[in-house]
Amino acid sequence: MSKKLVLAVVDALKPEMLERAIDHGRAPVMAKIRERGTYVRDCVSSFPSVTPVAAASIATGLGPAEHHIPSMNWYHRGERRYVEYGSSFEASRTFGVIESLIDTVYNMNMAHLNRARRTVFEALMDGGVRTAGTTYLMYRGRKRHLPSPEGMYSRLARAGGFTHAVWGPDELFYADLFASRKTDCRGILGMPGQRDQHTACVGAFLEENDLYDFMLASLPDNDTYSHRRGPYAQVTSIESADRALERIMHAAGGPDEFLDDHAVVVMSDHSQIAVVDEINLAQVLSGYELLLPSKPDDESAEIAICPSQRSAGVYVLDPERRDELTPRIARDLSAADGVDLVMYLAGEEAVVLSDRGELRFAPGGELEDDRGGRWSIDGDREALALRVEDGRVTSPSYPDPLERVWSALLCPHSGDVLASAGGGYEFDDWGGVAHVGGGSHGSLHRGDSLGVLMFSGTGPEEPPPTWSIKDVTPMILDHFAIDS
Ligand SMILES: [Zn+2]
């Protein structure tokens, strides 16, 4: 019989800040987990290193090429419209707050996430493991849940059109929308700053009533706090996340008792860096006819632009003009202040442009990366700061760069051209918001991409040479002896 396992995702948890919080006695539970288990401070996120893409990688063990969630904001070629998962309230308002929430709550899981691949919940449920989830972007499972009938917020949600059932884990608590049991926990509409306490309340209830073998405990408030106050302020929000974990563990007698008979995984989805300046994508590409959210049927529009924090995607609307416009857009983007990397596919190859030159690469070949992938490269290695030695290709600046860029470019929902912002820059979102003076993430650079992974009571005998957030689902399935 496997130990029960709790996977806690602390959004945007920055390794240096967790270490500071632990050193100052502000994160006693995470200190205990680190002390008892394995601590990794360079677990590689997805690219783009934004929450929906990373959450899908955590919940499936796959990159965007296979899970199909491309970004925070993207253009749906099939439905000919923008999809906005909530870059900011202002960005959501540009596309309609309700529409944006419907895309985030329903479509992300039920339509955009690849149905041909299983989530961690689906794989575990197929193997008879009891699963539970608190408000996490990715929740797709095998059990049907109707919207919660209880409470004032639930009535508001129903009035807003949130009346559909979803497929989730055995026990699903999602803001005030879904609650598989009656508890005294209040989601307060999933407002930032209120979400960790909801996870703590629900998690303690699940523990007290023995309702799970696997629980995904989502602790998103750290990300919001860090966006606003900057990553170096995280100690305060890490302390709150730690208290939420303590509350769940308290239901089993306290952290020591809990860790004696439970397995725990605590991780970041990505990190954050300090933002000092912004890039206005619409201005950079003002030489093209842009598809505006206010004119979705504009026949004269040539491109759709999708700023997603420190990454961006550009879509050529007319497939016949894709080959002509793609390299042109890439050059224009690459020349803009604050844009570090620009990427696109040319035939069987990926092209990466930067101030340091142009690199082309393709899978298969003589060179091996940190995770065993094989590649051939051509052109300026400095574009991705690549080091090549004894048949190995690495980059000190961009973790796992070839695999991550390739997977992003091959995601069927990705833009024709992708961009990664340089140090301190963020793309203004469709609401005109950038977190200047605060923090953000999304780029291929290590500052955004390297997060925490620590585990106790579980884990592989042989650790991979480099950890990725994609390793977590396989680790959990192994823990329960379930085939992936
Ligand atoms: Zn996140």
Give the model confidence (pLDDT) of 196-208 as tens digits. 999 999 999 999 9
Distance 25 CA to ligand 1 centre (A): 24
Nearest to 147 by CA among 131, 125, 162: 162
pLDDT at res. 189: 62
Distance CA 86, CA 6 (A): 27
Which tops the pLDDT comparison, 461 or 441? 441
CB atoms within 10 A of CB 474: 16
Distance 156 CA to ligand 1 centre (A): 26
Distance 358 CA to ligand 1 centre (A): 30
Distance 324 CA to ligand 1 centre (A): 35
Distance 391 CA to ligand 1 centre (A): 34
124-149 pLDDT, tens digit per residue, is: 999 999 999 999 999 999 999 998 87
Distance 388 CA to ligand 1 centre (A): 32
pLDDT at res. 285: 98
Report field, pTM of the whole predicted structure over 0.85 = yes
| Confidence band of 162 (pLDDT split at 50, 70, 90) | confident
Question: In one letter, which amino acid is 447?
Answer: G
Distance CA 291, CA 270 (A): 30
Assess contact for 361 and 381: CB atoms under 8 A.
no
Distance 356 CA to ligand 1 centre (A): 29
207-222 pLDDT, tens digit per residue, is: 999 999 999 999 999 9
Distance 435 CA to ligand 1 centre (A): 15
Distances (CA, A) of 260 to 5, 37, 245, 249, 264: 12, 12, 15, 11, 10
Distance 12 CA to ligand 1 centre (A): 5
Which tops the pLDDT comparison, 316 or 187? 316
pLDDT over threshold 70, residue 155: no
Distance 269 CA to ligand 1 centre (A): 5
- Does residue 255 have a cis bond before it (omega within 30 degrees)? no
Distance 392 CA to ligand 1 centre (A): 31
Distance 114 CA to ligand 1 centre (A): 20
Question: In one letter, which amino acid is 478?
Answer: D
Angle 199-203-107 from CA coordinates, rounded to 5°: 55
Nearest to 2 by CA among 483, 484, 477: 477
% the chain with pLDDT above 90: 92
Helix axis angle, 195-208 relative to 221-229, nearest 10°?
160
Distance 236 CA to ligand 1 centre (A): 17
pLDDT over threshold 90, residue 157: no
Distance CA 389, CA 156 (A): 60
DSSP string, 375-442: EEEEE-GGGGT-EEETTEEE-SSSSSHHHHHHHHHH-TTS-SEEEEE-TTEEE--TTS---TTSEE--
pLDDT at res. 154: 65
Q: Are strands 214-219 and 131-133 parallel, antiparallel or unpaired?
A: parallel
Distance 384 CA to ligand 1 centre (A): 24
271-313 pLDDT, tens digit per residue, is: 999 999 999 999 999 999 999 999 999 999 999 999 999 999 9
Distance 135 CA to ligand 1 centre (A): 13
Contact partners, residue 195, CB within 8 Å, separation at least 6: 135, 175, 187, 218, 219, 220, 221
Distance 298 CA to ligand 1 centre (A): 33
Domains parsed from the chain with CATH numbers: 4-69+113-273+445-479 (3.40.720.10), 277-434 (no CATH)
% the chain with pLDDT above 70: 97
| Secondary structure of residue 286 in the 3-state scheme | coil
Distance 13 CA to ligand 1 centre (A): 9
Distance 440 CA to ligand 1 centre (A): 10
Angle 259-262-268 from CA coordinates, rounded to 5°: 80
Distance 390 CA to ligand 1 centre (A): 36
pLDDT at res. 484: 77
| Confidence band of 175 (pLDDT split at 50, 70, 90) | confident
Distance CA 162, CA 178 (A): 10
Distance CA 82, CA 163 (A): 23
Distance 224 CA to ligand 1 centre (A): 9
CB atoms within 10 A of CB 176: 25
Assess contact for 10 and 267: CB atoms under 8 A.
yes
Distance 177 CA to ligand 1 centre (A): 21
Residue holding tokens 């050059």? 331
Nearest to 479 by CA among 264, 321, 310, 303: 264
pLDDT over threshold 80, residue 101: yes
pLDDT at res. 153: 62
